[in-house]
Amino acid sequence: MADLLGHLVAGRYLIKAFVASGGMASVYRAQDQILEREVALKVIHPHLATDRSFIEKFRREAKMAASLSHPNLVNVFDQGTDNDITFLVMEYVPGINLRDALNDFGALSPDRVLEILEPLTAGLAAAHTAGVLHRDLKPENVFLSDNGTVKLGDFGLAREISSQTQTGSIVGTAAYLSPELVLRGQADARSDIYSLGVMAFEMLTGKQPYAGDQAVQIAYQHANSHIPAPSSLNPKVPELLDEIVLWATARNSNDRPASAKELLPVISRAKSDIKRGLTTTFEDFGLIRNNTEVFVAPAGATEVIGEYQIDKAEQSSDGFVKLKKANRRSGRWVLILTLLAIFASSGAGWWFASGPGGQAIVPELEGRSLEVAISALEPMGLTVLEQQEHSAQVPVGLVIRTEPTAGTRVFKQSEVTLFISLGPRQVLVPESLGLDLEQATKLLESTGLIAGNVSSFFGLAEAGQVLAFSKPTGTSLAEGSVVDLRVSLGPLPDVVGEDFSQATQTLESLGLTVTSLEVFNDDVSAGRVVSITASSDPLPESGSVTLNVSKGPEFITLPNVVGETVAAAKNALESLGFTVLVDTDQLSSRFGVVKVTRQNPAASSRVRVGTQVTIYTR
């Protein structure tokens, strides 16, 4: 996507800074010009903005998110389209996200975990009460604002709750996927609870419960293993928090809280009791845990999950059951069958959509930094390669293009090459002498420069020849720089000696503006052009010229200098344009004393300027 900094979206949202980019959209910090407040502007990538079905889904989900209002949810203010920009306007939360906090500080103290978990659960409870699933709970979507508020955001994968919401394909981040999403591609409020429990585990231990080189390995473990108690990694975790995490992350969704609304009071009391130093257990909440792995389950039959079986006949009066070890051989077969289930039926949707067998759409990354581009591609399961090349349009260090190109569907684990700009090459301005316009233009292009504006000037070169480039020959310029050209119109016509009116007509026919100035001239008849003066050099085709027009010779009445000193008389006559001859027997050193006795021509004669006047002292 082109750089949107400074762009005014929908005549209202002025984009101030880039925040982040993902597989679906880029997020900017913007200023709402009407309400004068900062907002977060999510702009859908161009290749998705042309997909009608995607946009319709995006609008429905935006309306759903906008229907939610809670202090611990990031509010959605507006949604719309401005030309090719499809956008969502959300509350801007200054601060960091939970992922930043975990990266900086690692495991958090139980008190701090509950301070985050309580408002987070409250916000999720508001969504569940309104009938909305989040479906993408992870630390990146939990915002810790500078004023201490915890907010849950990015309902980009939100859906209305049904008893078994069919996702069509598995969504969300593999590290937080619930078993039912992995195995059946189905989700309800309890799937959000599972993701919340995984986040609680990560906050308490500083690690995710499962690790793997590929997403399918992590998803497999979620489907076939019980998440351990956090205290097994961090002995400082109180037993009550162990119980809450195990309850929220029960592999069977029936054994979890039905929604965040059911979980919230337990977390609130746990926060209060732990803060006061009280040792509280599940029994104090009216809940009983009979063994190391205990989950709520409906009475009825025996259900086999992984290497464990739940004997419904052994269910206690409180609705809790014990887990027994099943026959290990049977367990192995169940594991194999479970793995196959990932690739079959609804589980195949995960493999071919979000798993390694799935496809991703290469986002538009032109103009993004390398770090932003990598952060957009790697979460999609793509392998990033880097290559550098020169670019006259893209600044140094930013992405020029990708290979495959933006909008291309590729399989997960595919390689995407980022071409990073080295900036423009440096080239030298060539010599233009003797070239016509076509030749000069081709020469610039072959050099890596762009022929710019063409200006025409009168000059000594024949018409059509290039007089010069706007930059001197040999100047070093960035490749792609624009160089203007000056082309000759040929020399000005010679109108000296012509009648003024005829000369004016000739010059005006060339597009020139003509003015006149009358001058005395001994050689050119009155009314004819003595000379032409251009307003600039070189003279553009729309320039102006001044015609100096003869008034003929200049005559002046000769003054009387008899009785003046020789020096005074000589200066007076020369200042009028006469040449002076002194006929004397005196030394020049006495010219300031000796006086003129007569002159020739005589005083009061009409004499042409330039005529010789003789003065006498004897």
The answer to whether residues 103 and 17 belong to one domain is: no
318 carries an active-site annotation: no
The answer to whether residues 599 and 507 belong to one domain is: no
**Tell me, what's the pLDDT at 117?**
96
The answer to whether residues 544 and 562 belong to one domain is: no
The amino acid occupying position 293 is E
Of 513, 530, 550, the last residue of a domain is 550
Confidence check: pLDDT of 13 > 60? yes
- Residue 396 and residue 399: Cα distance in Å, rounded? 9
The answer to whether residues 205 and 267 belong to one domain is: yes
The answer to whether residues 277 and 128 belong to one domain is: yes
Question: Is residue 293 in a domain?
Answer: no
**Tell me, what's the pLDDT at 114?**
95
Of 467, 488, 509, the last residue of a domain is 488
The answer to whether residues 121 and 215 belong to one domain is: yes
The answer to whether residues 197 and 220 belong to one domain is: yes
**Tell me, what's the pLDDT at 157?**
41
DSSP string, 484-495: EEEEE--PPP--
- Residue 545 and residue 562: Cα distance in Å, rounded? 46
How, if at all, do strands 415-421 and 399-403 pair? Answer: antiparallel
Question: Is residue 292 in a domain?
Answer: no
Q: Is the dihedral of CA 389, 392, 396, 398 positive or negative?
A: negative
**Tell me, what's the pLDDT at 287?**
64
Catalytic residue chosen out of the listed positions 136, 154, 192, 255: 136
The answer to whether residues 176 and 139 belong to one domain is: yes
Distances (CA, A) of 15 to 33, 134, 311, 398: 10, 27, 59, 19
**Listed ranges 129-133, 196-200, 449-453; the one with the highest mean pLDDT:** 196-200
The answer to whether residues 159 and 259 belong to one domain is: yes
- Measuring CA to CA, which residue among 13, 259, 208 is closest to residue 99? 208
Per DSSP, what are the bridge partners of residue 87? 43, 80
Three-state secondary-structure class, residue 291: coil
Q: Which of 155-159, 208-212, 263-267, 405-409 has the lowest mean pLDDT?
A: 155-159
**Tell me, what's the pLDDT at 168?**
37
- Residue 98 and residue 123: Cα distance in Å, rounded? 15
Global pTM value: 0.49
**Tell me, what's the pLDDT at 187?**
81
Of 488, 523, 539, the last residue of a domain is 488
The answer to whether residues 465 and 480 belong to one domain is: yes
Query: What percent of the chain shows pLDDT beyond 90?
Result: 47
Question: Is residue 195 in a domain?
Answer: yes
Confidence check: pLDDT of 494 > 90? yes
- The rounded mean pLDDT for the chain is 82
Its domain, for residue 608, covers 555-616
Domain with 430 in it: what CATH number?
3.30.10.20
Question: Is residue 323 in a domain?
Answer: no
Residues 6+ apart with CB under 8 A from 420: 370, 386, 387, 388, 389, 397, 398, 399, 400
Domain with 64 in it: what CATH number?
3.30.200.20
**Tell me, what's the pLDDT at 288?**
57
**Tell me, what's the pLDDT at 496?**
94
Grade residue 358 by pLDDT with cuts at 50, 70 and 90. low
Instruction: Name the domain count of the chain.
Output: 6
The answer to whether residues 43 and 105 belong to one domain is: no
The answer to whether residues 79 and 181 belong to one domain is: no
- Residue 618 and residue 612: Cα distance in Å, rounded? 19
